[in-house]
Every structure is written in structure tokens, then in C-alpha cells.
Amino acid sequence: MIKLLNQLFDLCDDITVNSNQVKKKSLFVAYQGHKFDGRNFIDSAIKSGAAAIIYEKKNFEWKPEWNIPHMAINELKKELPIIANKFYGNPSNSLKLIGVTGTNGKTTSTVWLSSCLNQLKIKAGYVGTLGYGDNINLFPTSNTTPDVFSTQKILQYFKAKKASHIAMEVSSHAIDQKRIDTLEFDIKVLTNITRDHLDYHGSIENYIKCKTSFLLEKPLSVIIINNDDPAGKIIAEQIKTQNKTLKLLTFGLENNSDLMAKKISFYNDRVAFDLHHKDEIYRFEAPIFGKYNLYNLMGVIGCLLKLEINIKDIQSVVLDLPQIEGRAEVIKRNDNNEPIIIIDYAHTPDALRNILETIKQHNSKKLTVLFGCGGNRDQGKRKEMAIIANQWADKAIITSDNPRDESPVDIIEEISRHINIPLKKFEKRDAAIKYAVEGMSSNDILLIAGKGHECYQEIKGKKYPFSDKNIALKVLEKIKK
């Protein structure tokens, strides 16, 4: 198999599972996926210039008129990580690869980590929800963790750019679908585990099991875990008792951990705290918002320490952490420099609770939350998010998120029946934002939640251009005039 694979590789300049991306000298890999069978697009790939084809052998006959080098493999899907890794030359072996998994905080943690490393003149890249690149110039990705071939191609890109460290978001889908199986992670981080993706995993137990499998495989990795997270604490105890070859570092604000934040002072736009580590105490300050982001920062500090960065250098670089697009992003402040319109990606119950609680604790204004829930996703969180809005907000505006194949009206009604604070409903999200912004008084603060950085809205299988931030800013501009 290896010999024939290498022969096919020699004929090709790139490799893809998407027939629309095939060009001259591409290697097209065709197998049966969730929605489509790639083997139905072999003819199209050949016409687009494919130089060779690898395809799933089971229940398929190669057509004699396809006069092109090819290879049939049983259970091809399982072999994809190996094929991708060999084609691109195992780039992760030449990089310090840090993988961050968890329900919330992956993007913030990885962006901050790569930013800190670049500030320290350590050339670092980022791969995740926002795309991939060096934090300044980002290229789009199709998923939080890209498909197996795109991921290897991206790592090869960073290797060619002379990057030495990569901070990568690792989603539960990527773990379950084996997209990262051949990647060699030096450090793995768990931010937290709360309800999400139950439409895919079936239960919270399966979801936790999936995250745990990533952390515990390949015992040479350093594992960094949020010890205040209930699931994280259990996993940490499991490592201590059963996997002593793993190098574990825990962090927390409450439970006894290797890294502890104490004497914490939260402000509107920053936090100050004492970091306790190895019987020493270090005073830290950082421009971050809320307790939940302090947990993200603690994980980043843990990574930097495990990368043998001097603690004084860490104290210095965290003073300049970047604002992340769509993550507690303030797009309007009042004359007293207080935030009054905030955009956040919060689309899970825990994330919505965190951002609402933080805003409420630091602001006495009347809080309006605008949100919806995605279609074709875990329906159980719709009620939970409504209850959280009741607990922390003064008013709710329920609208569409990414309805996908579901009726947006039905989703809105499913959320709204559990709302018991003043409520407005809008099927059109742009109309909801316009209403919310135009109706603000000097005593109001508005959270636009759910989509954050996203520049599209997905409806019936199509993504339409859409940006919460751009719409809100346009409304504000009209108000000024």
C-alpha cells in the first residue's frame, strides 16, 4: 500500500476530498461521507484535471473509461489521517503543537497564546474558528478544526513560513472524526466541558468521553486542565492515579491546583490577581473581561510556563493581550467610557451565563440580551438559554441565529415560551438588531449574542452575508446623523 501511495503522491501537487477544489495535478480522495458520496464526483474530478484517484473500495466498481492512476482502499475513511500525514510529510513533527479543547474558551485561549509567543519573538501560528495565520493576517477555514487534509496543509504552510509553535483549537467533531489522529501534540489544554453538540454526540457522557480521549492518548504530551471544571477535575484525578506517564498541570481559582489565582480584582476592562506557583507568588494584570476569561488566561499562562518562558516575561506580555473579534467585543461606549453595546459568540448555555453574569456584576444599567439558537443542533439548550436570560437580563429580544433547515419561527417560539422577562421577537435578525440599538436609552446596555465574528447567516443550506457588528454600526451611524 505504501509503495503505491508514494507513486500516486509523486504524480500530484495537492490532495483534496472536495471535487470543487480539484485542479490540474490534484489527488482526489473519494469516499462516502455524511451527506455525499465522493465517488459520485470522480468523473467531475477527472474532468477538472485530477492526476490520480484514491477511493473507497466497498460497493464500488471502477469504470474502465477512467483512464487515470487510481487506488482502491477498504475502509478508506479510517486511513485518511495517515494518507494526509504522509502526503504533507508529517509537518507537526517539526512544530511545537499546542491543542486546546473544551466547550468554551478555545478561540480566546489559542489567540492569546499565539499572540504572547509572537510578542516574545517566538514565531507562532493560530488555527481555529477565526481561520489560520499569525493573528494579524488570517485566512479562512471551513471548521473550528479543519478537515484532515486542510489541517496538514496548514501545518506545512506554517513550517514553510519558519513558524516554530502552533496554537490549535481542537473540536469534539475533529476528535471523533479522527481528523487529528496523526498530529503530534506537545501540549494539550482543557478549558471546560459544559453542554454542547449533544445533537452529534447523543449525550453529555459521550461528549465528555470524546474530549477525554484526546487528552489521554499519546502519553508523551503535557496536559493542562482547568481543575475548577467538574469534568476537568475528574480527568485530572484519573491522570494522577492511572496515567502517571502524562505530565499534568492543573489551574484554578477555587480548587487546590498547581497554578492558583488569588486576591482577584475585576474591573470593567481588566483584571489583577496573584498567581501562586511552586510556593511563589507573582502579581499579574491583564486587559481581560470577566472570571471566565481569567480561566482562559490561566490556561495560557500554564502553556507558557511549560514552554519554559520566564515568569517575568509572561507578566509583561499578558499586559498586551489582543481584543478578539466577536468575543466580549465592545463596539460602543458611553461618554464615561463604559461599554454599552457588546457582541459575543456565546451560543451555549454556559457561555451565555458567563457573559451575562459578568456584565451584570460590573454594570448597574438595564441589560437587554439579543440571541437565538441554531437550527439542526441540540434543541435542549434552547430552554436552558431562555432560563439563563431570565436570571441575568432585564429584557430579551429573541431572533434567528443560523436556522439552517429548521423554521426560524419555530425556533424562536421554542425559546420564547420559556422567557418570563419583557420580550420582543423578530424573525429577521437585522431587524432585531436595528430595534435593539435604536431603542437604547442612556441607562441601557445591550448584548448581541450567538454569532460573534461570523460574517454569514446559514439558511436552508446557503450562507448569506451577515455581520452583527456591521449591522449594529450602521444603525449607530444613522442615529448620529
Tens digits of residue pLDDT in 403-439 = 999 999 999 999 999 999 999 999 999 999 999 999 9
- Please tell me the distance from the alpha carbon of residue 67 to that of residue 72, in angstroms, as a whole number: 15
Indicate if the alpha-carbon torsion angle 117, 122, 123, 127 is positive or negative.
Answer: negative
Residue 164's contacts (CB-CB under 8 Å, 6 or more residues apart) are 95, 96, 122, 123, 124
* Least trusted range by pLDDT, from 242-251, 324-333, 455-464: 242-251
According to DSSP, residue 50 is labeled -
The identity of residue 380, as a single letter, is G
Q: Is the pLDDT of residue 155 over 90?
A: yes
Q: Is 284 helix (H, G, I), strand (E, B) or coil?
A: strand
**Residue 225's closest CA among 239, 206, 208?**
239
Could you tell me the pTM of the whole model? 0.93
Judged against a pLDDT cut of 80, whether residue 199 lies above it is answered with no
Q: Which of 32-46, 321-335, 394-408 has the highest mean pLDDT?
A: 394-408
DSSP strands (E only) in 179-297 = 187-190, 222-226, 247-252, 259-266, 271-277, 280-286
Q: How far is Cα 151 from Cα 134, in angstroms, rounded to an integer?
A: 15
Burial class for 11, CB neighbours closer than 10 Å (0-12, 13-18, 19+): middle
Mind spelling out the 3-state secondary structure of 418-480? CCCCCEEEECCHHHHHHHHHHCCCCCEEEEEECCCCCCEEEECCEEEECCHHHHHHHHHHHHH
Supply φ then ψ for residue 279, to 5 degrees. Answer: 65, 15
User: pLDDT at position 52, please?
Assistant: 97
Q: Percentage of residues in the chain with pLDDT exceeding 90?
A: 84
Q: Identify the DSSP state of 195.
A: S
Q: What secondary structure, in 3-state letters, does 61-84 show?
A: CCCCCCCCCEEEECCHHHHHHHHH
> What is the pLDDT confidence band of residue 362, given thresholds at 50, 70 and 90?
confident
Question: What is the C-alpha separation between 301 and 112, in angstroms, rounded?
Answer: 10
Per-residue DSSP letter, 93? G
How many residues would you count in the chain? 481
The grid coordinates listed for 52 are 490520480
DSSP string, 125-165: EEEETTEEESSSSEE--SSSS--HHHHHHHHHHHHHTT--E
Least-confidence region, from 90-104, 241-255, 342-356: 241-255
pLDDT at 195 over 90: no
Cβ-contact 215, 188 below 8 angstroms: yes
Q: What is the pLDDT of residues 257-306, one digit of tens each?
A: 999 999 999 987 899 999 999 999 999 999 999 999 999 999 999 999 99
Question: How far apart are alpha carbons 38 and 48 in whole angstroms?
Answer: 15
| Residues 118 and 309: beta-carbon distance below 8 Å | no
Residue 253: the pLDDT is: 98
CB of 261 within 8 A of CB of 292? no
Compute the average pLDDT of residues 373-397: 96
Lowest model confidence (mean pLDDT) among 211-215, 248-252, 471-475: 211-215
**Residue range 359-385: mean pLDDT, rounded:** 93
Q: What is the signed CA dihedral for 420, 391, 349, 380, rounded to 10 degrees?
A: -30
Q: Which residue has the higher pLDDT, 220 or 132?
A: 132
Q: Quickly state the pLDDT bin for 144 (edges 50, 70, 90).
A: confident
Instruction: Using the structure block, give the residue that is written with the C-alpha cell 471523533.
Output: 176
